[in-house]
Amino acid sequence: MEPTRDRLLAERERALRRLAALTGDFDEIVAASRDTNADDEHDPEGATIAFERSHVATLVQQSRLRLAELDSALRRLDAGTYGVCERCGGPIPEARLEARPTARTCVTC
């Protein structure tokens, strides 16, 4: 397997682990808030619980998006279009792919 595929697969594995951990955290926050009588509006702890739930939900969403980006990059690799700009059809510079392995466009585009 070439280094690019190895790197994408390794990043995908990290994204899956992060998503699993965050999903577990989110489930714990929801369960904890269900077990209390916390009223987000009137309970001083309610705002904290709501913030934590919102924060973790956002991180879950970002992790899912990252996973989708990595899966898309792997599909492009399989199709032979990885490293080709989706706008102009030109090559995506190696340095850009090194910094952003899921990049879809060249620096100019």
DSSP H stretches of helix in the chain = 3-34, 44-79, 94-99
Calpha distance 90→92 (Å, rounded): 7
Question: Which 3 state secondary structure label does DSSP give 26?
Answer: helix
* pTM tops 0.75, yes or no: yes
* Tens digit of each residue's pLDDT (9 = 90 or more) over 87-101: 999 999 999 999 999
- The predicted pLDDT at position 43 comes to 55
**Of 56, 78, 95, 57, residue with least CA distance to 9:** 78
Calpha distance 55→85 (Å, rounded): 33
Task: Give domain limits for the chain.
Answer: 3-81
- The predicted pLDDT at position 36 comes to 59
- The predicted pLDDT at position 31 comes to 75
Question: Which 3 state secondary structure label does DSSP give 107?
Answer: coil
* Tens digit of each residue's pLDDT (9 = 90 or more) over 12-55: 999 999 999 998 888 787 777 666 555 555 555 556 777 888 89
65 or 1, which is more confident: 65
